Amino acid sequence: MHIALLAGDGIGPEVTAQAVKALRAVAANGPQFDFTEAPIGDAAYDTTGDPLPEATAELAERADAVLFGAAGTYESDLRPPEQRGGHALLRLRKRMDLFANFRPVTAFPELIGASTLKREAIEGVDLVVLRELTSDIYFGTPRGVHVTNGERVGVNTMRYTESEIRRVAHAGFKAAQGRRKKLCSVDKANVLETMALWREVVTEVGREYPDVELSHLYVDAASMHLIRRPRDFDVIVTGNIFGDILSDAAAMLTGSIGMLPSASLNAEGRGLYEPVHGSAPDIAGKDIANPLASILCGAMLLRHSLGQPAMAERIETAVRRVLAEGYRTGDIMEAGATRLGTEAMGDAVAREI
């Protein structure tokens, strides 16, 4: 089985290296993985002039799964889009048609103290944000800045086709069936026609899943309910831009942002696995980044793209044990725990496996 390693920028390389350690450890007596590295992001732009070199995109398409680190930095965001590290990720999502972005948010009991929310508000939170990832205002045209009547005018287009909504809705209902059977669709149907269509199509698809309880929330109300009663959510399905905002808010609730993996899947179940935290250039290369999100990406990759749920579970159990033993990276440190660097945390998980 062939895994493409796209470690990218900032802390991407150091955390991805720990995920590889975990994958190697869990595969020690089983099917072997082939890892192939390729450059992406600012790192790729600096050496090849393109943040997503053609060879990298082809490798990602051919591989059984892609383990991704992070791409882009605040500096490269000031350059034209085609030269930005972060933009490589958008292009790859589109090219591989990775329309279903799953971001599970779990309250790790050991880390609840690190949240700004009260224990009683977040204990037991176990939700998944399913964000549509290849359409919406991210990709709609016309787009750009032009001059009209002597002043600059910026335009972007939110656009969804029925079939784009339909396929992510199906993914949402299926995910809910495998969980607590509740799907909350988030839109802004009271103002945006595109989102009224979203609500209509999700409702239509819902008739095929009578066992799943479907509800709808406006995005502004959803952002409140996430803070007020996060435990009530099971699966949340929403569009690309609302999903960008809500999934980051949800990730922050549990105090475990350094712990959260994500999977971006296409219709064939092939996918790209990426920690929710970004490239964090300020702490890169210091051996202090938390590698657990990337390690848990390895587990998601095993489950969703390689059909190895037992191996996935072994990684997840190892992570939980390491936390229970009191090991922490700096971001989740608390009194009485033992502080580990990035490498040492990776070693600790590999040892548990």
By annotation, the residues acting in catalysis are 138, 188, 220, 244, 248
Binding mask 155-194 for ligand IPM (x = CB under 6 A): -----------------------------------xx---
201 binds a second copy (CB under 8 A): yes
CB burial of 30-51 (b: ≥16 within 10 Å; e: otherwise) equals eeebeeeebbbbbbbbeeeebb
Residue 46 binding: pick among a second copy, ligand IPM, none (C-beta 5-8 Å cut-off by kind) = none
Considering only 45, 102, 108, 242, the residue that binds a second copy (CB under 8 A) is 242
The two three-digit tokens of residue 344, written as one number: 């040492």
Bridge partners, 34 (sequence order): 2
Q: Per the annotation, does 232 bind a ligand? A: no
Considering only 99, 160, 173, 273, the residue that binds a second copy (CB under 8 A) is 160
What is residue 54's three-state secondary structure?
A: helix
Binding mask 6-25 for ligand IPM (x = CB under 6 A): --------------------
Rounded-to-integer distance, Cα 193 and Cα 205, Å: 18
Rounded-to-integer distance, Cα 309 and Cα 324, Å: 22
- Binding to a second copy, residues 58-97 (CB under 8 A): 72, 77, 84, 86, 90
Considering only 12, 86, 291, 346, the residue that binds ligand IPM (CB under 6 A) is 86
Rounded-to-integer distance, Cα 114 and Cα 25, Å: 29
Considering only 1, 17, 196, 283, the residue that binds a second copy (CB under 8 A) is 196
251 binds a second copy (CB under 8 A): yes
Omega of the bond prior to 142 within 30 degrees of 0, cis? yes
Select from 6-14, 83-91, 200-208, 315-323 the region that touches ligand IPM (CB under 6 A). 83-91
5 binds a second copy (CB under 8 A): no
Residue 76 near residue 85 (C-beta atoms within 8 A): yes
- Binding to a second copy, residues 271-290 (CB under 8 A): none
Residue 285, phi-psi category: left (phi > 0), alpha (psi -120 to 50), beta (remainder): left
Considering only 1, 192, 337, 344, the residue that binds a second copy (CB under 8 A) is 192
Rounded-to-integer distance, Cα 289 and Cα 346, Å: 11
Considering only 90, 127, 183, 202, the residue that binds ligand IPM (CB under 6 A) is 90
Binding mask 97-126 for a second copy (x = CB under 8 A): -------------------xxx--x-----
Burial (CB count <10 Å: 0-12, 13-18, 19+), residue 182 = middle
Locus of tokens 């590295």: 37
Considering only 72, 172, 258, 275, the residue that binds ligand IPM (CB under 6 A) is 72
Amino acid at the residue 72: G
143 binds a second copy (CB under 8 A): yes
Using alpha carbons, list the distances in angstroms from residue 248 to 166, 169, 253, 275, 300: 24, 21, 9, 12, 19
Residue 286 binding: pick among a second copy, ligand IPM, none (C-beta 5-8 Å cut-off by kind) = none
Residue 183 near residue 153 (C-beta atoms within 8 A): no
Rounded-to-integer distance, Cα 342 and Cα 289, Å: 6
Using alpha carbons, list the distances in angstroms from residue 250 to 104, 229, 236, 303, 317: 9, 11, 11, 23, 23
333 binds a second copy (CB under 8 A): no
Amino acid at the residue 108: F
Residue 121 binding: pick among ligand IPM, a second copy, none (C-beta 5-8 Å cut-off by kind) = a second copy
Residue 184 has what DSSP assignment?
E
Q: How many residues bind ligand IPM (CB under 6 A)?
A: 8
Residues in binding site for substrate = 93, 103, 131, 220
Which residues of this chain interact with a second copy, rule CB under 8 A?
A: 72, 77, 84, 86, 90, 116-118, 121, 137-138, 140, 143-145, 148, 151-163, 188-198, 201, 219-221, 223-224, 226-229, 241-242, 244-249, 251-253, 257
